Structure 1
């Protein structure tokens, strides 16, 4: 039996475009408050938020987190355009950490977002660089990740402290909910530095925040060392490491959304209130808090000076994610509690027996 299919008319800048939507009544979020949210409702949502969504996530390489049968089903990531991708979905060739180069999806118009929904995408993960220059980020991104024993309120306190640090470094931070328990802080920057430099700038900001709030914030990569503190996830600044984009839904039971905020509303927000069903009205009421995010990009020179200062004071490179090649100056990739000093050299490489 053929699956149910409808045709959605999408308003693109070039004119209306028809996009087929199969299984429109499939429940993407079966347990959402107010009843299941279907694939058709998700397609309607992405059209309603397409303007601010593309302002934040368009013209960038993007990874699509896809679910075959709603958020409870099998999930997988798509980076490369699949066979049969329509011509209104763009792509750009990017270089991954392995050195491999391959085309990656780019979303530049509302119909492309609806196509991604047709491909069962729930979460959109954009790069911090543009398709016009994929090697140099236009944003410094910091993920404030609550650890066990902490919560969103603790992340709010850390975010205010981080805002002060970043402003002292000459940057203007913007903030959004993660769609889950944490907060994401973005600073628009001039695309003059590659990913490793931007990562070092994030580490410098995180270390400065940690010095000021040692009981509330940590930059420790290993979970056993973090304690009940907010983790500054510096590795989200790496090439091909992404977080849910602004206005992207999350694969959580009530269809929460990663939502840009005004700093003045941060102390009183309930992140669970921002959902696929509530965000269109929020945009109608207050507009997009990130509408001007790229209007005045800053520079990371001061943060890189702090990085060099910390190097001079004996603070070296931080661990990279496990899928990365071993990086210069990186400490051993082993939990501190399991490290046997005699098995590692001064460069952090394992000594072969």
Structure 2
């Protein structure tokens, strides 16, 4: 075949699918392989070996295994373009192969028993020594006699063989660490089929702060005008200490953090009224709540007029419509950012149901983790998507994205029922008394936060305490990390975490759901 991708292209409409169309194949190159877990009309695994500039591919319904006693059916399919090595996203349902895809494993491979693997495939038997993160050792593919595209896949009995090894027990991507469900809810990358293959991968993640912006901030004296995200912002008192620490954290450092984290934090602030907790004299002094948009705010700063405000109440709120707003808030002395859980377009309709695990004086960190894990189990049982986050102080919160149409009465009642069900499992840890002194040091599962203009601290907001701790979203399995603490990350360490692990809350942005009945 002059073009090994001819069949692949003929089956797809590249005006609708995000898959790569593929460049003309080039001979040679390193021997790479990929296994993608692909949920199309049926779940299967796509096993692909780089041969002569394309990916020679098999669909394996039950997935490859390290178990030498297991034989897997593998259907030989059309060659795929080399760019598919890193394809992780969603193919539209109306397209060929529609469904969600993760890079389940990848690495390098070597052809065994032949220097011409393409010829070996044509003859119907390929021996491959694979060096992946999950798959290791000798894989053998053999075409079944008389069955055309039907092959058998097996793992040889070697040092890497594992009896009973099941791929479904290892469901996460080796690229992003995410499951198929998480990728389906929030694909991080899109393939543009109208672009050259080398440029086809388009990130859907927020644009980061330009590198030179922090250098510009560092070059300013005690004050000046900082051009950040295209907005001129007058910054003052840059060397003022705002957080005690070793060394103390200055306002300049806070602004640098706010600018770097703003693109990641913005989706949880955007379109919502902000309640700002200001500490203009630093975290070791008394702070106060500031809700009214100040008259001296720059014209570009978003706002929302609350038509329901009574006399003496806030009439106009700040709304974060762009990342520069986060930097403005930090410059304004807001050490905490608290967005409403409803949008300004529908202030009486929450977009999240909130679970607030509020420890008492006698609640240990281990006790709080027990409560969080019980909520994890309950949500898994209900099939509900949510994610926890540490508060940066002592607590843990769980955010659950919901579809439009619920009232705060609805979410409060649902969370109350869920938490009281959990509380009955460990009554020795929980009090339902409102007054702190009546709880006798026990934890409170606070469903009352589900109310209009009651807010929980935003993901990635600093907290006014020693070292500038941060409220940080978690993946569920991090609740089992022995090193986890509610104030583990600070504005000095959080950015490294984002760089290595990404944002665990992003999955919530595409996962609005109905709340199931709790019996």
TM-score, scaled relative to structure 2: 0.54
CA distance change for structure 1 residues 96 and 104 in 2, over 3 Å: closer, same or farther? same
Task: Identify the match of residue 155 of structure 1 among 356, 363, 368.
Answer: 368
Task: Identify the match of residue 242 of structure 1 among 437, 440, 455.
Answer: 455
Q: 1-side partners of 2:419 and 2:225: how far apart?
A: 48
Q: 2-side partners of 1:286 and 1:20: how far apart?
A: 33
Q: 2-side partners of 1:300 and 1:92: how far apart?
A: 29
Compare relative contact order (CA 8 Å, sep 6+) and give the higher one, 1 or 2: 1
Q: 1-side partners of 2:241 and 2:305: how far apart?
A: 34
Report whether the alignment pairs 1:282 with 2:497: yes
Report whether the alignment pairs 1:67 with 2:279: yes
Three-state SS of the structure 2 residue aligned to 1:150 is coil
Q: Which residue of 2 aligns with 1:6?
A: 224
The structural deviation recorded for 1:136 is: 0.3
Task: Identify the match of residue 24 of structure 1 among 238, 245, 262.
Answer: 238
- The answer to whether the 8 Å contact 1:94/1:134 transfers is no
Instruction: Name whichever structure is richer in strand by fraction.
Output: 2
1:18-167 aligned at under 5 Å gives the runs 18-29=232-243, 31-33=244-246, 35-94=247-306, 102-167=315-380
The structural deviation recorded for 1:78 is: 1.3
Three-state SS of the structure 2 residue aligned to 1:149 is coil
CA distance change for structure 1 residues 160 and 95 in 2, over 3 Å: closer, same or farther? farther
Count residues with an aligned counterpart: 296
List gaps (5 residues or longer) in structure 2: 1-220
Q: Which residue of 1 aligns with 2:397?
A: 184
The structural deviation recorded for 1:214 is: 1.5
The structural deviation recorded for 1:98 is: 6.5
The structural deviation recorded for 1:223 is: 2.8
Deviations 1:267-319 (A, max 9, x none): 2212332001000111011111111212111222515xx5xxxxxxxxxxxxx
- The answer to whether the 8 Å contact 1:90/1:108 transfers is yes
Instruction: Name whichever structure is richer in helix by fraction.
Output: 1
The structural deviation recorded for 1:191 is: 2.2
Q: 2-side partners of 1:45 and 1:170: how far apart?
A: 36
The structural deviation recorded for 1:153 is: 2.1
- The answer to whether the 8 Å contact 1:95/1:101 transfers is no
Q: 1-side partners of 2:360 and 2:334: how far apart?
A: 28
Q: 1-side partners of 2:433 and 2:378: how far apart?
A: 19
The structural deviation recorded for 1:96 is: 6.6
The structural deviation recorded for 1:255 is: 0.7
